[in-house]
Amino acid sequence: MRFFKGLFSVLFACSVLLFTAILPVHALSVDVKEFTLENGMLFLVVERDTTPQVACRLSIRAGSALEDFGKTGIAHMLEHMMFKGTMNFGTTDPDLDRDLQRRIEDTYQVILREQLSRNPDRELIRQKREEMERLRRKVQEIYVPQAFSSQLEKNGAVGVNAFTSQDETQYMVSIPSDMLEQWFSIASEQIFEPAWREFYVEKEVVQREWAFRYVNNPSGAAWLDLYATAYTAHPYRNPVIGWRADMEYYNTTDAKKFHEIFYNPSNAVCVLVGNVRLEEAKRLAQTYFGRYPRGSRAPEKVTGEPRQEGPRRSIRYLKGARSPLVRMGFHGAPIGSDDFFALDALTMVLSHGRSARLTREIVQKGLAMEAWAYNPDQRY
């Protein structure tokens, strides 16, 4: 693979954003209008009538750093589940769907109890897995896949997507401006009223995703080891997708608990940019998002990282990898501080453009195929 991919990663502890810097001051002069609903949900609006579209970004402060011990990956699982519909959207028979979901969960709880016992009943586990599969097939008969995405896309939406990071889960789409109300209607239910259907099917998808990212993948393995080595206590040490061992045992109840705590208006920020008026945004926001209770704010602090007293190193040998790959990380500065912006500038000097220091001194001299630096956009 690549020899020095990520020679200088300015990150960790209070590390954060980097690749967005070095724009002229006047380029950042954007007229951002904001308002907050009574339930605490914040909206940021940039009116641009030169485009027929509206870019919508909905961020929930529900990243992997807020997960409970032993439940890593739940935040990422919720991202997947938000596209499975609501109790009344995404199925042709809501009542039957509810009954099937309840029976699937009851069956899985029996499997889980046996798996965690000292003397698990293998035959009972096998029988219950077969029962779950039969129930899954019944769900499939009434399931409407990609209900949210297809509804938006057939009306001109593009870029329907989402991602989970250590600090947030974000949902995004660009829509024709005359479809804005439809997006508000769909997004509000999508985020605050999920149905949890196909949870265990999706869990298997995520487990395969974990293998794809980290097993015999030098780049993914390097990131995994870098964070796990740099942090000993702080939750940033955990991969956003979660540890494989935790994935084996979490269930719908765990996901519902995380959703109940963090997926509420006081942890949500919605950004609208495009052909939208502030008053229209206020009206739609109140109609569709204002009906949900405030909920509690996510904690401002998580487990702190002890001061690092010396260098740490991790070496992994991967079968089939042809070339060494090196990542180096340094604990950085908190976002918004003077040192943070200085680190932003430093990484641009190091790796932005053909004249960058790393390019000139490492790549152009034939020491590596690629070398770059960045400063992650992390909250803590």
Domain ranges of the chain: 28-215+239-288
Orientation of helix 180-192 relative to helix 278-288, angle to 10°: 40
pTM: predicted TM-score of the whole model, two decimal places: 0.87
Spatial distance between the Cα atoms of 281 and 96, rounded to a whole number of angstroms: 36
Tell me 367's DSSP state.
S
From 84, 242, 230, select the one nearest 164 (Cα to Cα): 242
> Which residues share a beta bridge with 45?
33, 272
DSSP class of residue 200 equals H
pLDDT at 17: 30
State which amino acid sits at residue 296: S
Residue whose token pair is 């992650």: 376
Q: What is the model's pLDDT at position 28?
A: 55
160-193 pLDDT tens trace: 999 999 999 999 999 999 999 999 999 999 999 9
Q: What is the pLDDT of residue 122?
A: 95
pLDDT of residue 288: 98
* DSSP letter for each residue of 233-280: SSGGGS-TT--HHHHTT--HHHHHHHHHHH-SGGGEEEEEEES--HHH
Residues 6 and 326 sit within 8 Å (Cβ to Cβ): yes
CA gap 106, 135 in Å, rounded: 11
Measured CA distances, 285 to 7, 177, 180, 256 (Å):
45, 15, 11, 24
Query: What Cα–Cα distance (Å) separates residue 25 from each residue in 21, 29, 30, 37, 273?
Result: 10, 7, 10, 31, 20
pLDDT of residue 88: 80
The span from the CA of 51 to the CA of 146, in Å, is: 27
Collapsed DSSP state (helix, strand, coil) of residue 270: strand
pLDDT tens sequence across 50-60:
999 999 999 99
**In 3-state terms, what secondary structure has residue 272?**
strand
User: Domain 28-215+239-288 is of which CATH architecture?
Assistant: 2-Layer Sandwich (3.30)
What does DSSP say about strands 53-60 and 169-176: parallel, antiparallel, or unpaired? Answer: antiparallel
Report the chain's terminal Cα–Cα distance, integer Å. Answer: 32
Look up residue 98 and give its two tokens: 């509810």
Residues of the chain falling short of pLDDT 50: 1-27
